[in-house]
Amino acid sequence: MPYKTTILKHIKFHFLLFIIGFSFLSTSAQKIKIDGVAVVVGKNIVLDSDIEKFKQEVDLRSEGKVQISNCEMLEELMQQKLLSHHAVVDSVVVSDVEVSSRVERSIQYFTQQYGNIEKVIKAYGFNDLDDLKKELTTVQKENLLIEKEQQKITEKIDVTPEEVRLYFNGLKEKGELPQFPAEIELAQIVLKGIPTKEENERIITKLNELKKQIEDGASFKMKAIINSEDPGVTQNGGMYPVTKESNFIKEFKEMAFTLEIGQVSKPFKSDFGYHIMQLHEIKGNTRIASHILMQPKVSDDKMNEIKDKATSIIKDIREGKITFEEAVKKNSMDDETKNSGGLILNPSTGESRFELTRMDPAFYARVNDLKKGEMTDPFYDENRSGVKMFKFILMKDRTDTHIADLVDDYVKIQQLALQKKKEETITKWSREKIKDTYIKIGSEHGKCEFQKNWKKETNK
């Protein structure tokens, strides 16, 4: 059927910009040696190894759905270098705070992938954390320059309803209407297990005992390995580099910047439980600290009571004694969804709709068979803080995989039309800027046929 065109084709431009930024980050972090300069754009260079890395990233992140040749990859990379070069020419401002925030997010991402920061440093061949941060700072500064230059070029671009209609009809005439995947909208009611006052006091007493033992000479690392409920303790002894910009919880950062070297804190509370912390070292704006985490327990009997209550709420909703929204307001203990009728937001997009096939497999299994208006049975869950709970989910809305429709999918079509118009605007900008920008293409890539006149041939 000619209309079954993947939506990925129509967001290729935006998708590739994301991959390019990530590709340069990974390439720089791996410290690939110069194996040939493919292109020079202004004062920026693209290496042959950049092209290969880009190819791998595109294939991985598109799950093989985006097909792009080496010459097309090179042109996309040249485009980014052109944007970066002219961002500097145009005096685009990138603040240190913006860059450091991006750097910290990158470090957190790599740390999650490898388990701890030491493994990241070793895997990418850096000398230490400062060396890694220096490289990431260069990469993320360029990424921000590119993004801001794009925003500057397209800030006044918009599309009218007529332009959206013409865009849609053009795709329809060419048999290229995108196929939108199945999407769902979910709401939840969450009932948490709350530890008793006596259980909290037991944890605090235990941590105070550990604090005294450490102050009397016991090894913090050994006490952490034996007692801490932080999953990372077996790999790093509960030790972390902490900055004010890092993604650690507020209480953790505040305590790290309060302690003196060698000092052990009093027990302090966070959403994860109760902690004690010892500061080991100060490196500039970074604090190297260890902690022991202990989480108050909730009895099995209490959790069974919560499950029974959830079952009773579901029964009342199904019998029409209370609406789902009323039950959320009365019973739900989830701060993020309680005031929105239980509506769950997609963390990747910030919107309420989820692409069904891209959900977490365990979550997908729970909701895949639900029809609109149906609810799951109550099920046990724990959040990242270790809080135990029972919850159940309502399928608020469900849209099956379908070919784009102008009425039903107007917002999506509008976004695609706007993205296309922005792409055309940047392309026009690029054609003009190429004329007065120094560009040198390596001999190995001289045979490439580009969409833009990168070679500055007089007949183009």
- CB-CB contact of 107 with 136 (8 Å): yes
Residue 337 resides in a domain: yes
Does residue 300 register a pLDDT over 80? yes
Residue 453 resides in a domain: no
Mean pLDDT of all residues in 446-458 = 87
Rounded to the nearest 10°, the torsion over CA 48, 50, 54, 55 is: 20
Q: Of 259, 294, 329, which residue constitutes the final position of a domain?
A: 294
Cβ-Cβ contacts under 8 Å for 126 (sequence gap 6 or more): 29, 31, 132, 135
Q: Of 294, 329, 358, which residue constitutes the final position of a domain?
A: 294
Locate 187 and state its tokens: 């709401």
**Predicted local distance difference test score (pLDDT) of residue 104:** 83
E strands, 165-209, in order: 178-180, 183-192
Considering the domain architecture, whether residues 26 and 171 belong to the same structural domain is answered as yes
Worst-scoring range by mean pLDDT, 107-121, 167-181, 255-269, 322-336? 107-121
Q: How sure is the predictor about 29, in pLDDT bands with cuts at 50, 70 and 90? A: very low
**Predicted local distance difference test score (pLDDT) of residue 460:** 56
Locate 75 and state its tokens: 């042109």
Locate 173 and state its tokens: 């005439």
Is beta strand 178-180 parallel, antiparallel or unpaired with respect to 5-6? parallel
Q: What is the tens place of the pLDDT at every residue in 376-405?
A: 999 999 887 788 999 999 999 999 899 999
Among 236, 220, 23, which Cα is nearest to 117's? 236
What is the residue-wise DSSP string for 362-386?
A: HHHHHHTTPPTT-BPPPEEEE-TT-
Considering the domain architecture, whether residues 167 and 276 belong to the same structural domain is answered as no
Residue 451 resides in a domain: no
Q: How many domains does the chain have?
A: 3
Q: How sure is the predictor about 49, in pLDDT bands with cuts at 50, 70 and 90? A: confident
Considering the domain architecture, whether residues 164 and 310 belong to the same structural domain is answered as no
Considering the domain architecture, whether residues 251 and 385 belong to the same structural domain is answered as no
**Predicted local distance difference test score (pLDDT) of residue 309:** 97
Considering the domain architecture, whether residues 20 and 99 belong to the same structural domain is answered as yes
Considering the domain architecture, whether residues 260 and 315 belong to the same structural domain is answered as no
Q: What DSSP state is assigned to residue 91?
A: T
Considering the domain architecture, whether residues 14 and 122 belong to the same structural domain is answered as yes
Considering the domain architecture, whether residues 125 and 76 belong to the same structural domain is answered as yes
For residue 420, the domain's CATH number is 1.10.4030.10
**Residue numbers of the domain that contains 318:** 181-194+299-401
For residue 346, the domain's CATH number is 3.10.50.40
Q: How many CB atoms neighbour CB 208 within 10 A?
A: 13
Considering the domain architecture, whether residues 244 and 273 belong to the same structural domain is answered as yes
Residue 459 resides in a domain: no
**Predicted local distance difference test score (pLDDT) of residue 231:** 79
Does residue 11 register a pLDDT over 70? no
Q: Which residue has the higher pLDDT, 129 or 8?
A: 129
What Cα–Cα distance (Å) separates residue 189 from each residue in 180, 194, 342, 346, 383? 29, 16, 6, 16, 14
Rounded Cα–Cα distance for residues 146 and 193 (Å): 47
Considering the domain architecture, whether residues 393 and 411 belong to the same structural domain is answered as no
Does residue 12 register a pLDDT over 60? no
Q: Of 235, 263, 294, which residue constitutes the final position of a domain?
A: 294
Residue 72 resides in a domain: yes
Considering the domain architecture, whether residues 58 and 157 belong to the same structural domain is answered as yes
Query: Using alpha carbons only, what angle is made at residue 153 by residues 150 and 158, rounded to the nearest 5 degrees?
Result: 100
Q: How sure is the predictor about 265, in pLDDT bands with cuts at 50, 70 and 90? A: very high
Residue 98, φ and ψ in degrees, nearest 5: -60, -45
Considering the domain architecture, whether residues 274 and 335 belong to the same structural domain is answered as no
Among 210, 231, 212, which Cα is nearest to 222's? 210
